[in-house]
Chains A and B, each alone.
Chain A
Amino acid sequence: MSVGQKSNWELIKNGMFGENTIFRMAISLCPSIAVTNGMKNGVSLGVAVVFVQTMVNVTVSLLRKFIHPKIRIPIFMLIIAGYVTIIDLLMATYARPIYKEIGLYIQIIVAFASIFARAEVFASKNKVWSSVCDGFGMGVGFLLAMLVISFFRELLGKGELFGYSLIAGNPLLIMILPAGGFLAVGLLMGFFNWIDMRFFGGKGASGV
Protein backbone atom coordinates (compact mmCIF):
# COMPACT_ATOMS: atom_id res chain seq x y z
CA MET A 1 0.00 0.00 0.00
CA SER A 2 1.59 3.23 -1.10
CA VAL A 3 1.38 6.24 1.13
CA GLY A 4 0.00 9.62 0.29
CA GLN A 5 -0.68 9.10 -3.41
CA LYS A 6 -4.38 8.47 -3.07
CA SER A 7 -7.00 11.03 -2.19
CA ASN A 8 -9.38 10.31 0.65
CA TRP A 9 -12.22 9.56 -1.72
CA GLU A 10 -10.01 7.12 -3.61
CA LEU A 11 -9.20 5.42 -0.31
CA ILE A 12 -12.89 5.00 0.51
CA LYS A 13 -13.64 3.76 -2.99
CA ASN A 14 -10.71 1.38 -2.79
CA GLY A 15 -12.18 -0.15 0.37
CA MET A 16 -15.63 -0.41 -1.14
CA PHE A 17 -14.70 -1.92 -4.49
CA GLY A 18 -11.05 -2.23 -5.43
CA GLU A 19 -10.05 -4.14 -2.31
CA ASN A 20 -13.47 -5.28 -1.15
CA THR A 21 -12.97 -7.47 1.92
CA ILE A 22 -15.12 -10.35 0.78
CA PHE A 23 -15.11 -10.33 -3.02
CA ARG A 24 -11.57 -9.13 -3.71
CA MET A 25 -9.43 -9.90 -0.68
CA ALA A 26 -11.47 -12.97 0.30
CA ILE A 27 -10.91 -12.45 4.04
CA SER A 28 -13.47 -12.50 6.86
CA LEU A 29 -15.38 -15.13 4.92
CA CYS A 30 -16.46 -16.90 8.10
CA PRO A 31 -18.99 -14.23 9.19
CA SER A 32 -20.01 -13.68 5.59
CA ILE A 33 -21.26 -17.24 5.57
CA ALA A 34 -22.49 -17.54 9.15
CA VAL A 35 -24.48 -14.33 9.35
CA THR A 36 -25.83 -13.67 5.86
CA ASN A 37 -28.89 -15.91 5.89
CA GLY A 38 -31.10 -12.88 6.48
CA MET A 39 -30.75 -9.24 5.48
CA LYS A 40 -31.38 -8.01 9.00
CA ASN A 41 -28.44 -10.04 10.31
CA GLY A 42 -26.19 -9.01 7.45
CA VAL A 43 -26.90 -5.31 7.83
CA SER A 44 -26.55 -5.38 11.64
CA LEU A 45 -23.14 -6.98 11.42
CA GLY A 46 -22.12 -4.65 8.57
CA VAL A 47 -22.96 -1.52 10.55
CA ALA A 48 -21.12 -2.80 13.62
CA VAL A 49 -18.06 -3.55 11.48
CA VAL A 50 -18.04 -0.08 9.86
CA PHE A 51 -17.89 1.44 13.33
CA VAL A 52 -15.28 -0.85 14.88
CA GLN A 53 -13.10 -0.86 11.76
CA THR A 54 -12.98 2.94 11.67
CA MET A 55 -12.29 3.29 15.40
CA VAL A 56 -9.55 0.64 15.38
CA ASN A 57 -7.87 2.28 12.40
CA VAL A 58 -7.92 5.67 14.15
CA THR A 59 -6.44 4.24 17.34
CA VAL A 60 -3.74 2.21 15.62
CA SER A 61 -2.81 5.20 13.50
CA LEU A 62 -2.59 7.49 16.56
CA LEU A 63 -0.49 4.99 18.46
CA ARG A 64 1.69 3.90 15.53
CA LYS A 65 4.77 5.77 16.78
CA PHE A 66 4.50 4.21 20.24
CA ILE A 67 4.12 0.63 19.08
CA HIS A 68 7.34 -1.31 18.70
CA PRO A 69 7.15 -3.21 15.39
CA LYS A 70 8.07 -6.52 17.04
CA ILE A 71 5.05 -6.53 19.31
CA ARG A 72 2.51 -4.88 17.01
CA ILE A 73 0.34 -8.00 16.66
CA PRO A 74 -0.56 -8.42 20.36
CA ILE A 75 -1.16 -4.69 20.60
CA PHE A 76 -3.55 -4.63 17.61
CA MET A 77 -5.31 -7.55 19.24
CA LEU A 78 -5.68 -5.59 22.48
CA ILE A 79 -7.04 -2.55 20.66
CA ILE A 80 -9.66 -4.57 18.78
CA ALA A 81 -10.66 -6.63 21.82
CA GLY A 82 -10.73 -3.49 23.97
CA TYR A 83 -13.10 -1.67 21.61
CA VAL A 84 -15.37 -4.66 21.33
CA THR A 85 -15.46 -5.15 25.10
CA ILE A 86 -16.15 -1.49 25.83
CA ILE A 87 -18.86 -1.17 23.18
CA ASP A 88 -20.39 -4.40 24.43
CA LEU A 89 -20.47 -3.17 28.05
CA LEU A 90 -21.78 0.29 27.17
CA MET A 91 -24.53 -1.09 24.97
CA ALA A 92 -25.53 -3.71 27.53
CA THR A 93 -25.92 -0.93 30.08
CA TYR A 94 -27.34 2.04 28.25
CA ALA A 95 -28.93 0.63 25.11
CA ARG A 96 -30.40 -2.71 26.12
CA PRO A 97 -33.12 -2.92 23.43
CA ILE A 98 -30.54 -2.43 20.67
CA TYR A 99 -28.10 -4.67 22.50
CA LYS A 100 -30.61 -7.50 22.44
CA GLU A 101 -30.75 -7.17 18.65
CA ILE A 102 -27.09 -6.73 17.71
CA GLY A 103 -25.14 -7.65 20.86
CA LEU A 104 -24.24 -11.00 19.35
CA TYR A 105 -22.71 -9.36 16.29
CA ILE A 106 -20.55 -7.02 18.34
CA GLN A 107 -19.02 -9.94 20.18
CA ILE A 108 -18.01 -11.89 17.08
CA ILE A 109 -16.11 -8.90 15.66
CA VAL A 110 -13.15 -9.75 17.92
CA ALA A 111 -12.11 -12.49 15.53
CA PHE A 112 -12.35 -10.44 12.33
CA ALA A 113 -9.42 -10.88 9.97
CA SER A 114 -10.39 -7.82 7.93
CA ILE A 115 -10.09 -5.41 10.85
CA PHE A 116 -6.78 -6.90 11.85
CA ALA A 117 -5.52 -6.77 8.28
CA ARG A 118 -6.29 -3.07 7.83
CA ALA A 119 -4.58 -2.21 11.13
CA GLU A 120 -1.50 -4.08 9.95
CA VAL A 121 -1.44 -3.11 6.28
CA PHE A 122 -2.69 0.46 6.42
CA ALA A 123 -3.31 2.19 9.73
CA SER A 124 0.06 1.31 11.26
CA LYS A 125 1.82 3.08 8.37
CA ASN A 126 -0.43 6.04 7.58
CA LYS A 127 -1.73 9.29 9.02
CA VAL A 128 -4.93 9.43 11.04
CA TRP A 129 -7.23 11.00 8.46
CA SER A 130 -6.18 8.59 5.71
CA SER A 131 -6.72 5.73 8.14
CA VAL A 132 -10.23 6.95 8.94
CA CYS A 133 -11.08 6.95 5.22
CA ASP A 134 -9.51 3.56 4.70
CA GLY A 135 -11.31 2.03 7.68
CA PHE A 136 -14.63 3.57 6.72
CA GLY A 137 -14.28 2.46 3.10
CA MET A 138 -13.34 -1.07 4.10
CA GLY A 139 -16.25 -1.20 6.54
CA VAL A 140 -18.73 0.04 3.94
CA GLY A 141 -17.29 -2.43 1.43
CA PHE A 142 -17.96 -5.20 3.91
CA LEU A 143 -21.46 -3.87 4.55
CA LEU A 144 -22.18 -3.83 0.80
CA ALA A 145 -20.92 -7.38 0.44
CA MET A 146 -23.12 -8.51 3.33
CA LEU A 147 -26.12 -6.78 1.73
CA VAL A 148 -25.62 -8.47 -1.63
CA ILE A 149 -24.98 -11.94 -0.18
CA SER A 150 -27.82 -11.82 2.34
CA PHE A 151 -30.21 -10.42 -0.29
CA PHE A 152 -29.79 -13.49 -2.46
CA ARG A 153 -29.68 -15.95 0.41
CA GLU A 154 -32.78 -14.71 2.19
CA LEU A 155 -34.73 -14.27 -1.03
CA LEU A 156 -33.90 -17.71 -2.39
CA GLY A 157 -33.71 -19.58 0.92
CA LYS A 158 -36.77 -18.22 2.69
CA GLY A 159 -38.64 -16.23 0.04
CA GLU A 160 -38.42 -13.21 2.32
CA LEU A 161 -36.57 -9.92 2.63
CA PHE A 162 -36.00 -8.39 6.07
CA GLY A 163 -38.44 -10.99 7.38
CA TYR A 164 -41.30 -9.97 5.04
CA SER A 165 -42.68 -12.72 2.86
CA LEU A 166 -42.31 -12.05 -0.84
CA ILE A 167 -42.37 -15.35 -2.66
CA ALA A 168 -44.85 -18.11 -1.92
CA GLY A 169 -44.04 -21.77 -2.36
CA ASN A 170 -41.10 -23.93 -1.41
CA PRO A 171 -37.88 -21.94 -1.07
CA LEU A 172 -34.43 -23.43 -1.63
CA LEU A 173 -33.69 -24.35 1.97
CA ILE A 174 -30.03 -24.96 1.19
CA MET A 175 -29.47 -21.24 0.62
CA ILE A 176 -29.96 -20.38 4.29
CA LEU A 177 -27.78 -23.26 5.49
CA PRO A 178 -23.99 -22.87 5.63
CA ALA A 179 -23.58 -24.72 2.34
CA GLY A 180 -25.71 -22.08 0.64
CA GLY A 181 -23.37 -19.43 2.04
CA PHE A 182 -20.42 -20.99 0.20
CA LEU A 183 -22.47 -21.21 -2.99
CA ALA A 184 -23.62 -17.59 -2.79
CA VAL A 185 -20.18 -16.18 -1.94
CA GLY A 186 -18.47 -18.25 -4.63
CA LEU A 187 -20.93 -17.40 -7.39
CA LEU A 188 -20.98 -13.70 -6.50
CA MET A 189 -17.20 -13.57 -6.34
CA GLY A 190 -17.07 -15.16 -9.77
CA PHE A 191 -19.64 -12.70 -11.05
CA PHE A 192 -17.68 -9.68 -9.81
CA ASN A 193 -14.48 -11.11 -11.25
CA TRP A 194 -16.24 -11.50 -14.58
CA ILE A 195 -17.40 -7.85 -14.48
CA ASP A 196 -13.88 -6.84 -13.65
CA MET A 197 -12.38 -8.76 -16.58
CA ARG A 198 -15.09 -7.82 -19.04
CA PHE A 199 -15.37 -4.08 -18.38
CA PHE A 200 -12.27 -3.01 -16.54
CA GLY A 201 -9.61 -5.24 -18.06
CA GLY A 202 -8.77 -6.87 -14.72
CA LYS A 203 -7.55 -3.67 -13.12
CA GLY A 204 -9.98 -3.81 -10.20
CA ALA A 205 -13.72 -3.24 -10.32
CA SER A 206 -13.45 0.37 -9.25
CA GLY A 207 -11.25 1.16 -12.21
CA VAL A 208 -8.75 2.83 -9.88
Chain B
Amino acid sequence: MENKKIFFSKRASGYLLGKKPMYFLAVLFYLTFAFLFFSFFIYSNITSANAIPANVETTVLINRFLNSPDCFAYVDEETGRAYPGIIDINKFNDEQIKKCYSAIDDNYYSFRFELQSTNINFKDCSTPNWGARRFNKISQYVLIYYGKTIYGETIYSGTLLISMQK
Protein backbone atom coordinates (compact mmCIF):
# COMPACT_ATOMS: atom_id res chain seq x y z
CA MET B 1 0.00 0.00 0.00
CA GLU B 2 2.94 2.23 0.69
CA ASN B 3 4.21 1.78 -2.81
CA LYS B 4 0.81 2.33 -4.26
CA LYS B 5 0.69 5.55 -2.40
CA ILE B 6 4.02 6.65 -3.70
CA PHE B 7 3.62 5.65 -7.36
CA PHE B 8 -0.07 5.81 -8.02
CA SER B 9 -1.61 8.19 -5.44
CA LYS B 10 -4.11 10.62 -6.93
CA ARG B 11 -2.34 13.55 -5.44
CA ALA B 12 1.09 12.51 -6.51
CA SER B 13 0.25 11.32 -10.03
CA GLY B 14 3.19 13.39 -11.26
CA TYR B 15 5.45 10.63 -9.88
CA LEU B 16 4.18 8.33 -12.66
CA LEU B 17 6.32 10.21 -15.12
CA GLY B 18 9.11 10.86 -12.68
CA LYS B 19 9.95 7.62 -10.84
CA LYS B 20 8.81 4.81 -13.17
CA PRO B 21 11.23 5.58 -16.01
CA MET B 22 14.04 5.85 -13.49
CA TYR B 23 13.02 2.46 -12.11
CA PHE B 24 12.96 0.94 -15.61
CA LEU B 25 16.28 2.47 -16.49
CA ALA B 26 17.85 1.04 -13.36
CA VAL B 27 16.35 -2.40 -14.02
CA LEU B 28 17.38 -2.28 -17.70
CA PHE B 29 20.91 -1.35 -16.72
CA TYR B 30 21.02 -4.13 -14.13
CA LEU B 31 19.56 -6.73 -16.51
CA THR B 32 21.94 -5.76 -19.31
CA PHE B 33 24.86 -5.98 -16.97
CA ALA B 34 23.65 -9.32 -15.61
CA PHE B 35 23.09 -10.65 -19.14
CA LEU B 36 26.52 -9.57 -20.36
CA PHE B 37 28.20 -10.91 -17.24
CA PHE B 38 26.54 -14.33 -17.45
CA SER B 39 27.00 -14.53 -21.23
CA PHE B 40 30.68 -13.80 -20.87
CA PHE B 41 30.94 -16.25 -17.97
CA ILE B 42 29.20 -19.05 -19.87
CA TYR B 43 31.13 -18.32 -23.06
CA SER B 44 34.49 -18.36 -21.30
CA ASN B 45 33.52 -21.64 -19.64
CA ILE B 46 32.62 -23.17 -22.99
CA THR B 47 35.81 -21.86 -24.53
CA SER B 48 37.99 -23.15 -21.72
CA ALA B 49 36.27 -26.56 -21.85
CA ASN B 50 37.14 -26.82 -25.55
CA ALA B 51 40.55 -25.19 -25.33
CA ILE B 52 43.38 -27.08 -26.91
CA PRO B 53 46.37 -27.08 -24.58
CA ALA B 54 48.81 -24.46 -25.81
CA ASN B 55 51.73 -26.87 -26.01
CA VAL B 56 49.74 -29.22 -28.29
CA GLU B 57 49.01 -26.40 -30.70
CA THR B 58 52.57 -25.08 -30.69
CA THR B 59 54.00 -28.59 -31.10
CA VAL B 60 51.84 -29.13 -34.18
CA LEU B 61 52.93 -25.78 -35.61
CA ILE B 62 56.62 -26.34 -34.80
CA ASN B 63 56.41 -29.73 -36.53
CA ARG B 64 55.44 -27.90 -39.68
CA PHE B 65 58.71 -25.94 -39.62
CA LEU B 66 60.82 -29.02 -38.97
CA ASN B 67 59.06 -31.63 -41.09
CA SER B 68 57.52 -29.92 -44.08
CA PRO B 69 59.52 -29.71 -47.31
CA ASP B 70 57.96 -26.26 -47.78
CA CYS B 71 59.64 -25.08 -44.56
CA PHE B 72 63.08 -26.04 -43.29
CA ALA B 73 63.12 -29.80 -43.97
CA TYR B 74 65.89 -30.97 -46.26
CA VAL B 75 64.70 -32.51 -49.54
CA ASP B 76 66.86 -34.86 -51.56
CA GLU B 77 66.69 -33.33 -55.04
CA GLU B 78 67.18 -36.61 -56.84
CA THR B 79 64.51 -38.63 -55.07
CA GLY B 80 62.25 -35.78 -53.97
CA ARG B 81 62.16 -37.26 -50.47
CA ALA B 82 61.84 -34.89 -47.53
CA TYR B 83 63.84 -35.66 -44.39
CA PRO B 84 61.85 -34.56 -41.31
CA GLY B 85 64.00 -33.05 -38.59
CA ILE B 86 66.96 -32.26 -40.84
CA ILE B 87 67.16 -28.52 -41.39
CA ASP B 88 68.41 -27.36 -44.77
CA ILE B 89 70.59 -24.35 -43.97
CA ASN B 90 69.72 -22.82 -47.37
CA LYS B 91 66.05 -22.78 -46.42
CA PHE B 92 66.60 -21.29 -42.98
CA ASN B 93 65.59 -17.71 -43.74
CA ASP B 94 62.68 -15.27 -43.47
CA GLU B 95 61.61 -15.72 -47.09
CA GLN B 96 61.15 -19.47 -46.71
CA ILE B 97 59.32 -19.09 -43.43
CA LYS B 98 56.95 -16.57 -45.00
CA LYS B 99 56.09 -19.06 -47.72
CA CYS B 100 55.36 -21.96 -45.40
CA TYR B 101 53.69 -20.06 -42.53
CA SER B 102 51.57 -17.27 -43.95
CA ALA B 103 50.47 -15.74 -40.65
CA ILE B 104 50.46 -11.98 -40.77
CA ASP B 105 48.39 -10.98 -37.75
CA ASP B 106 48.64 -11.52 -34.01
CA ASN B 107 45.73 -13.98 -33.89
CA TYR B 108 48.15 -16.73 -34.81
CA TYR B 109 51.15 -17.97 -32.89
CA SER B 110 54.37 -16.32 -33.96
CA PHE B 111 57.79 -17.93 -33.84
CA ARG B 112 61.45 -16.99 -33.90
CA PHE B 113 64.13 -19.59 -34.60
CA GLU B 114 67.80 -19.42 -33.72
CA LEU B 115 70.16 -22.05 -35.06
CA GLN B 116 73.30 -22.76 -33.07
CA SER B 117 76.08 -25.12 -33.97
CA THR B 118 79.81 -25.22 -33.42
CA ASN B 119 80.30 -25.78 -37.15
CA ILE B 120 78.25 -22.93 -38.61
CA ASN B 121 77.64 -19.27 -37.92
CA PHE B 122 74.65 -18.29 -35.83
CA LYS B 123 71.51 -17.86 -37.94
CA ASP B 124 68.04 -16.74 -37.04
CA CYS B 125 64.70 -16.09 -38.70
CA SER B 126 61.15 -15.36 -37.62
CA THR B 127 57.57 -15.52 -38.81
CA PRO B 128 56.09 -12.31 -40.31
CA ASN B 129 53.88 -11.73 -37.25
CA TRP B 130 56.73 -11.83 -34.72
CA GLY B 131 56.68 -8.72 -32.55
CA ALA B 132 58.04 -7.15 -29.40
CA ARG B 133 55.87 -9.11 -26.99
CA ARG B 134 56.35 -11.60 -24.19
CA PHE B 135 57.54 -15.00 -25.43
CA ASN B 136 58.41 -18.52 -24.25
CA LYS B 137 61.51 -20.31 -25.40
CA ILE B 138 62.33 -23.98 -25.87
CA SER B 139 65.28 -25.75 -27.45
CA GLN B 140 65.55 -28.81 -29.61
CA TYR B 141 68.46 -30.83 -30.97
CA VAL B 142 68.45 -30.95 -34.76
CA LEU B 143 70.57 -32.04 -37.70
CA ILE B 144 71.64 -29.33 -40.14
CA TYR B 145 72.15 -30.07 -43.82
CA TYR B 146 74.96 -27.78 -44.91
CA GLY B 147 75.15 -28.76 -48.59
CA LYS B 148 77.41 -30.72 -50.84
CA THR B 149 81.13 -30.37 -50.36
CA ILE B 150 84.07 -32.19 -51.86
CA TYR B 151 83.67 -34.75 -49.09
CA GLY B 152 80.06 -35.42 -50.02
CA GLU B 153 76.92 -34.24 -48.29
CA THR B 154 77.66 -32.44 -45.05
CA ILE B 155 75.39 -32.72 -42.07
CA TYR B 156 76.15 -31.14 -38.69
CA SER B 157 74.37 -31.45 -35.39
CA GLY B 158 73.09 -28.33 -33.68
CA THR B 159 70.50 -26.78 -31.42
CA LEU B 160 67.39 -24.95 -32.53
CA LEU B 161 66.10 -22.35 -30.06
CA ILE B 162 62.41 -21.77 -30.65
CA SER B 163 60.73 -18.68 -29.21
CA MET B 164 56.96 -18.46 -29.46
CA GLN B 165 54.38 -15.83 -28.63
CA LYS B 166 50.68 -15.12 -29.09
Chain B binds chain A = no
Residues of chain A touching chain B, judged by Cβ–Cβ distance below 8 Å, are: none
